[in-house]
């Protein structure tokens, strides 16, 4: 549609900008960034009539474009071809984005000089307009020199009306009427002023709010119509197209008729215009991690056997350091088999581990001797149950023997454990571990297993085992068993759970029929802050019928816990523990339970409970509940999960119908290395066709403060999602922290997908945590910065350079995306628990394009032993200027914005003769850049802050510069006693004075100064002026006293 209307003449004009004749008054220019792939192909593929310039990759692209456009003052259309991202486009070695637009504003405003009106010296008639567009119907002409159309727009009349053709067009505008304006027949119209266009060919430049803001700002600076794409530009197979779908400015409808590349080039070009993206750390993760992209650097895949329905990954856990090599290990449960994988600095470096190939050096296979119909085994670390200082394992086989009585096994850790490559649970004899036999048929003892922490406070870890089909208080009411650890535990090779009597452990009885108490069990950490570990037990079908919301039970640890041998969960009253009531019928709260670590950083352990069939965002989307620990938690004996409001905990909502969020929950350790525990939650039926998803939620002091977290809002800064690979995999059926399995100092994750593979043999995935933290004394190797750097083409990325200009510590690149960092003694001033940060930048390349990002490292103070020196240092290595209080020093506050007070400063000597040294401070930007300087009198009782605006002659005075842009106060100094009156004098530089010849001012000291001294009033009695010689000398840029150069006893 036409763009501009002059209502009193009823016509509109559009003027084309593209033609073979580049000497035409209006034309277009194309600038191609050299960083795009194959710029030569692009340059050769533009439509005829375009001037093409390729930018220099080593120079600032915006400056280059400005230089080019100066050669073409009547340019009305500019096409910029380069890599882009939302709100940003790469040009040469620079970026144009919301941050840099203000820096380039002066240049960008001059990109388009106004389309100059035709002057009488050159073209006076309309025939010199290259094209005049007319819209149908064809206008009527009242003679050769008249034009009486109601509209002029989409058709072309060349040289008035010789012929009508279809032509490409670009917008034009009208200026003021002038006698020099071009004629349209007998009517002398308005000057034509080009309305320029900028077309940005870069992927996603117009995407989202950032893209919209960028286009609007660029339009404001150029007054041009801006057109760009909210999607990828380029090859269709890579998700690209050649549509610039977003327009801002005049005629803000996107018009793709002016795309610069011909059809052949659009079809042949094999790339897209998107550069690699280097993400600033310490946001260490993207919003989503594809488990299909684990490659050994960011984690690895553990493949189950090729046996049909082996279900590897049905249960996963960290194993502690079972082989005593100093690095955490992991354990994976499958059908009738378990796999123990030793951690190490190179574990999984190929990206894949075949569990059936474990050989004793890298881990071992655990053979289970149950029935051929055995379900997948359940696995967990057991803590150090025998007190030998080495971590142990616990394995549950709830379908052991034909009657499903159930059995569990403890495997003792040791430096030689599993060295043969296999370990038969049937061979445990008390020296290497022991079995724990269930009590009654169908109990399914071992359906859940966990370490219990040290629940009786004797200093040795204990165990907890669930038997959800046991019948202590009706069918399937469920039981759980706590077994106390000790140096002699299990020495016979077998423990009968029926023998627990309070001295060796105790039974926890479910409450009602069909509760299925013991469906899930875990240590709870020390949730009430009394110094002894607590327990949590899930009963996902409590209370009377199987349609109830579910319950969970926290049992407080203590030296007398379970001493009778039996603990009735119905007796929980707030003093010995409490009940956590589910919310709605059918939620199955208690499907999974776990300690949550200290997720809110208050020093007390928290809890997490899963309810996989809750309905926050559709039927069975699932919920999980975090309950904050505290000294008063659960004191009433019950805790309603419906009461979570952000102060006592929060709810995590599943995303889509039937996701089953909360089927598995676990603490995640500190995955992002910020010093606060994180969570991991599985939703095994989410994503695609039950591919499964898992969610990591970062802890923090304000985590969940609103009472609810929507997992759909995870964005990399607050957590991230781990996406399963194939439909039906059920990734997230089991989740756990993996400990630090690669020994890099950061907790890793493990996730099970027991239906993965064509034979449902199952897979598990280890995802490495990332760390950018150390203490003031410790060097370390960072995680790979390439983890969350991306390249749309999938090209491999590498670090090509680092910049440590402002880095305090020592940084060395290892070439693989990791860096060695040494605090180098620069943070020894930190008190224990205090933190500081250090930064460096790196450049990432995909072989052609580059991007840069900043790495932030957090350094924590530690409690070093004091050092007594023979000559003590009187100051600490750092003083907090914010702590100056008048005793330790004081602050001198400038007056107005842009004054630049403190740009220069010096001692002033004793200017007023009171026996105390004074100060002088320059503020060369004050008073419209005339500048001011301030003398502050010394005092034996200063306040914590002095307002320079309050100087009144008694506490100091102001020295006012003379003229605007003199920059008086650019340099200041004591001058010594220049005039020999016994008082210190001053010298002040003003390099901009006197047409930049510069001046300096010597001001004599006085025992009775006024509140302000005008430097223009110096007359020889109160001081004098030293005048620079020649314009632009800038005399006074620096000034100083020179001492007594000629030995006459007076300062010079």
- The secondary structure of 332-389, three-state, reads EEEECEEEEECCCCCCCCCCEEEHHHCCCCCEEEEECCCCCCCCECEEEEEECCCCCC
User: What is the C-alpha to C-alpha distance for residues 140 and 806, in angstroms, rounded to an integer?
Assistant: 72
**pLDDT band with cut points at 50, 70 and 90 for residue 121:** very low
Neighbour count for residue 496 (Cβ, 10 Å): 12
Q: What is the pTM of this model?
A: 0.58
**pLDDT surpassing 60 at residue 130:** no
Is residue 747 within 8 A of residue 740, CB to CB? The reply is: yes
Neighbour count for residue 676 (Cβ, 10 Å): 18
User: What is the C-alpha to C-alpha distance for residues 591 and 613, in angstroms, rounded to an integer?
Assistant: 9
Written as six digits, the tokens of 148 are 């009486």
Pick the more confident residue, 345 or 707: 707
Q: Which of 782-796, 896-910, 988-1002 has the lowest mean pLDDT?
A: 782-796
The radius of gyration of the chain's CA atoms, rounded to the nearest angstrom, is 39
**pLDDT surpassing 50 at residue 57:** yes
**pLDDT band with cut points at 50, 70 and 90 for residue 861:** confident
pLDDT of amino acid 116: 36
User: What is the C-alpha to C-alpha distance for residues 521 and 540, in angstroms, rounded to an integer?
Assistant: 11
Written as six digits, the tokens of 339 are 């796999």
User: What mean pLDDT comes out for the span 722-751?
Assistant: 92
Q: Which residues of 842-872 are buried (b: 16+ CB within 10 A; e: fewer)?
A: bbbbbebbbbebbbebbbbbbeeeeeeeeee
Q: Which of 198-207, 809-818, 1025-1034 has the lowest mean pLDDT?
A: 809-818
Q: Give percent of the chain with pLDDT exceeding 90.
A: 54
User: What is the C-alpha to C-alpha distance for residues 26 and 28, in angstroms, rounded to an integer?
Assistant: 7
pLDDT of amino acid 786: 67
**pLDDT surpassing 60 at residue 636:** yes
Written as six digits, the tokens of 259 are 């795309």
User: What mean pLDDT comes out for the span 634-653?
Assistant: 97
The three-state secondary structure class of 795 is: coil
- Reference 444, options 376, 385, 391, 530; nearest CA is 376
Written as six digits, the tokens of 835 are 């933190």
User: What is the C-alpha to C-alpha distance for residues 909 and 1051, in angstroms, rounded to an integer?
Assistant: 12
Neighbour count for residue 759 (Cβ, 10 Å): 13
**pLDDT band with cut points at 50, 70 and 90 for residue 122:** very low
Q: Which of 9-18, 168-177, 334-343, 489-498 has the lowest mean pLDDT?
A: 9-18
User: What mean pLDDT comes out for the span 1038-1042?
Assistant: 94
Q: Which residues of 391-411 are buried (b: 16+ CB within 10 A; e: fewer)?
A: bbbbbbbbbbbeebbbbbbbb
Residue 714's contacts (CB-CB under 8 Å, 6 or more residues apart) are 287, 695, 696, 697, 720, 721
**pLDDT surpassing 50 at residue 995:** yes
pLDDT of amino acid 131: 34
**pLDDT surpassing 90 at residue 878:** no
Cβ burial, residue 19 (10 Å; 0-12/13-18/19+): middle
Q: Give percent of the chain with pLDDT exceeding 70.
A: 82
* Alpha carbons within 13 A on the beta-carbon side of 109: 5
pLDDT of amino acid 866: 60
Pick the more confident residue, 132 or 535: 535
- Reference 315, options 760, 662, 751; nearest CA is 751
**Residue with structure tokens 């509760």?**
515
Give the full edge-to-edge strand order of the sheet including 566-568: 448-453, 462-467, 479-483, 505-509, 566-568
Residue 279's contacts (CB-CB under 8 Å, 6 or more residues apart) are 286, 788, 789, 790, 853
Written as six digits, the tokens of 463 are 């165990």
**pLDDT surpassing 90 at residue 711:** yes
Find out if CATH 3.40.50 is the number for domain 27-112+194-271: yes
Q: How many helices (H) and strands (E) does the chain have?
A: 7, 72
Beta bridge partners of 327: none
pLDDT of amino acid 255: 74
Assigned CATH class of 773-861: mainly beta
**pLDDT surpassing 70 at residue 406:** yes
User: What is the C-alpha to C-alpha distance for residues 552 and 23, in angstroms, rounded to an integer?
Assistant: 82
Average pLDDT, whole number, for the chain?
Answer: 82
**pLDDT surpassing 70 at residue 639:** yes
**pLDDT band with cut points at 50, 70 and 90 for residue 873:** low
User: What is the C-alpha to C-alpha distance for residues 359 and 349, in angstroms, rounded to an integer?
Assistant: 17
Verify cis geometry, omega within 30 degrees of 0, for the bond prior to 137: yes
User: What mean pLDDT comes out for the span 25-40?
Assistant: 56
- Reference 498, options 438, 579, 410, 548; nearest CA is 438
**pLDDT surpassing 60 at residue 186:** no
User: What is the C-alpha to C-alpha distance for residues 123 and 21, in angstroms, rounded to an integer?
Assistant: 17
Q: Which of 182-186, 283-287, 298-302, 936-940 has the lowest mean pLDDT?
A: 182-186
Cα angle for residues 764, 333, 523 (degrees, 5° grid)? 100
User: What is the C-alpha to C-alpha distance for residues 400 and 497, in angstroms, rounded to an integer?
Assistant: 15
Q: Which of 303-317, 568-582, 813-827 has the lowest mean pLDDT?
A: 813-827
Is residue 210 within 8 A of residue 86, CB to CB? The reply is: yes
Cβ burial, residue 517 (10 Å; 0-12/13-18/19+): buried
**pLDDT band with cut points at 50, 70 and 90 for residue 998:** very high
User: What mean pLDDT comes out for the span 724-748?
Assistant: 92
Q: Which residues of 124-137 are buried (b: 16+ CB within 10 A; e: fewer)?
A: eebeebbbbbbbee
Task: Read off the pLDDT of residues 343-400 as tens digits, 9 standing for 90 and up.
Answer: 998 999 999 999 999 999 999 999 986 544 556 789 999 999 999 999 999 999 988 7
Find out if CATH 1.10.3720.10 is the number for domain 304-767: no
Parse the chain into domains and list their residue ranges: 27-112+194-271, 304-767, 773-861, 891-1027
Q: Which of 144-153, 323-332, 674-683, 1038-1047 has the lowest mean pLDDT?
A: 144-153
pLDDT of amino acid 280: 60
**pLDDT surpassing 70 at residue 139:** no
**pLDDT surpassing 90 at residue 792:** no
User: What mean pLDDT comes out for the span 991-1007?
Assistant: 95
**pLDDT surpassing 80 at residue 495:** yes
- Reference 822, options 765, 770, 775, 873; nearest CA is 775
- Reference 63, options 85, 88, 91; nearest CA is 91
pLDDT of amino acid 170: 32
């Amino acid at each position: 549609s036409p763009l501009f209307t002059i209502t009193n003449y009823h016509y509109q004009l559009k003027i084309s900008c593209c033609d073979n004749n580049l000497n035409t008054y209006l034309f277009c220019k194309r600038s191609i960034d050299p960083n795009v792939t194959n710029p030569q192909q692009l340059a050769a593929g533009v439509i005829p009539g375009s001037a093409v310039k390729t930018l220099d990759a080593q120079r600032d692209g915006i400056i280059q474009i400005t230089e080019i456009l100066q050669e073409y003052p009547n340019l009305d259309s500019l096409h910029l071809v380069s890599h882009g991202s939302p709100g940003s486009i790469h040009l040469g070695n620079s970026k144009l984005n919301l941050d840099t637009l203000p820096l380039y504003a002066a240049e960008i405003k001059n990109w388009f000089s106004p389309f100059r009106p035709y002057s009488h010296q050159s073209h006076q008639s309309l025939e010199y307009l290259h094209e005049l567009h007319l819209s149908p119907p064809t206008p009527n002409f009242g003679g050769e020199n008249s034009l009486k159309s109601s509209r002029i727009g989409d058709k072309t009349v060349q040289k008035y009306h010789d012929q009508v053709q279809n032509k490409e067009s670009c917008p034009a505008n009208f200026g003021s009427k002038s006698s020099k304006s071009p004629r349209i027949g007998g009517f002398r119209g308005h000057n034509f002023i080009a309305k320029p266009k900028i077309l940005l060919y870069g992927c996603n430049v117009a995407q989202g709010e950032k893209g919209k803001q960028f286009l609007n700002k660029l339009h404001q600076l150029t007054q041009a119509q801006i057109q760009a794409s909210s999607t990828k530009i380029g090859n269709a197979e890579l998700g690209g197209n050649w549509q610039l779908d977003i327009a801002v400015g005049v005629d803000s409808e996107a018009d793709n008729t002016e795309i610069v590349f011909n059809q052949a080039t659009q079809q042949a070009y094999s790339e897209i215009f998107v550069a690699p993206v280097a993400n600033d750390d310490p946001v260490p993760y993207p919003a989503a991690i594809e488990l299909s992209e684990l490659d050994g650097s960011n984690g690895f895949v553990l493949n189950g056997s090729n046996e049909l329905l082996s279900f590897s990954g049905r249960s996963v856990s960290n194993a502690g350091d079972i082989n005593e090599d100093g690095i955490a290990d992991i354990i994976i449960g499958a059908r009738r088999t378990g796999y123990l994988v030793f951690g190490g600095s190179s574990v999984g470096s190929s990206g894949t581990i075949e569990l059936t190939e474990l050989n004793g050096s890298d881990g071992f296979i655990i053979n289970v001797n149950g029935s051929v119909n055995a379900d997948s085994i359940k696995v967990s670390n057991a803590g150090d149950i025998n007190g030998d200082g080495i971590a142990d394992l616990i394995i549950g086989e709830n379908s052991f023997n034909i009657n499903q009585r159930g059995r569990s096994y403890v495997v003792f850790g040791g430096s030689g454990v599993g060295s043969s490559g296999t370990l038969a649970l049937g061979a445990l004899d008390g020296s290497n571990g022991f079995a724990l036999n269930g009590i009654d048929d169908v109990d399914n003892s071992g359906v859940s297993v966990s370490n219990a922490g040290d629940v009786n406070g004797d200093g040795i870890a204990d165990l907890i085992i669930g038997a959800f089909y046991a019948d202590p208080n009706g069918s399937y009411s469920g039981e759980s068993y706590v077994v106390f650890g000790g140096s002699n535990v299990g020495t016979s090779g077998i423990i009968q759970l029926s023998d627990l009597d309070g001295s060796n452990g105790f039974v926890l009885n479910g409450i009602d029929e069909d509760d299925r108490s013991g469906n899930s069990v875990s240590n709870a950490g020390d949730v009430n802050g009394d110094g002894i570990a607590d327990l949590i037990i899930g009963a996902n079908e409590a209370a009377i019928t199987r349609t109830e919301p579910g319950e969970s039970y926290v049992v407080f640890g203590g030296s007398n816990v379970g001493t009778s041998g039996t603990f009735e969960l119905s007796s929980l009253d707030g003093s010995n523990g409490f009940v956590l009531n589910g919310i709605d019928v059918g939620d199955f709260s208690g499907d999974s339970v776990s300690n949550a670590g200290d997720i809110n950083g208050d020093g007390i352990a928290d809890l997490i409970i899963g309810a996989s069939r809750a309905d926050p965002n559709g039927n069975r989307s699932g919920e999980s509940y975090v309950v904050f620990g505290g000294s008063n938690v659960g004191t009433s004996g019950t805790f309603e999960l419906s009461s979570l409001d952000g102060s006592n905990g929060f709810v995590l909502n599943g995303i889509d119908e039937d996701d089953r969020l909360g089927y598995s929950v676990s603490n995640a350790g500190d995955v992002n290395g910020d010093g606060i525990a994180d969570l991991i939650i599985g939703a095994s039926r989410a994503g695609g066709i039950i591919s499964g998803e898992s969610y990591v939620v970062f802890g923090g002091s304000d985590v969940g403060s609103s009472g609810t977290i929507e997992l759909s809002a995870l964005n990399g800064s607050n957590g991230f999602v781990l996406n399963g690979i194939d439909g039906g995999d059920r990734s997230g059926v089991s989740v756990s922290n993996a400990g630090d399995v690669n020994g890099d100092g950061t907790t890793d994750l493990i996730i099970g997908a027991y239906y993965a593979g064509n034979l449902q043999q199952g897979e598990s995935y280890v995802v490495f945590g990332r760390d950018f933290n150390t203490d003031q004394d410790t060097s370390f190797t960072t995680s790979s910065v390439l983890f969350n750097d991306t390249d749309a083409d999938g090209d491999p990325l590498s670090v090509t350079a680092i910049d440590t200009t402002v880095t305090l510590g020592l940084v060395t690149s290892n070439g693989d995306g990791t860096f060695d960092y040494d605090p180098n003694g620069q943070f020894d001033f930190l008190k224990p628990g205090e933190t500081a940060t250090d930064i460096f930048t790196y450049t990432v390349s995909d072989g052609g394009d580059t991007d840069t990002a900043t790495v932030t490292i957090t350094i924590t103070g530690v409690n070093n032993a004091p050092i007594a020196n023979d000559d003590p240092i009187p100051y600490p290595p750092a003083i907090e200027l914010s702590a100056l209080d008048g005793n330790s020093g004081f602050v001198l506050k400038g007056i107005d914005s842009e004054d630049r007070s403190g740009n220069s400063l010096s001692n002033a000597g004793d200017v007023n003769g009171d026996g105390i040294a004074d100060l002088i401070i320059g503020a060369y930007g004050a008073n419209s850049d005339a500048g001011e300087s301030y003398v502050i009198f010394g005092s034996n009782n200063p306040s914590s802050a002095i307002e320079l605006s309050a100087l009144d002659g008694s506490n100091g005075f102001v020295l006012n510069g003379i003229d605007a842009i003199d920059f008086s106060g650019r340099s200041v100094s004591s001058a010594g006693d220049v005039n020999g009156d016994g008082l210190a004098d001053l010298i002040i530089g003003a390099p901009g004075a006197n047409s930049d010849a510069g001046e300096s001012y010597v001001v004599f000291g006085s025992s009775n100064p006024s509140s302000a001294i005008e430097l223009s009033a110096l007359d020889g009695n109160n001081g004098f002026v030293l005048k620079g010689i020649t314009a632009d000398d800038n005399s006074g840029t620096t000034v100083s006293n020179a001492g007594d150069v000629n030995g006459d006893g007076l300062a010079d």
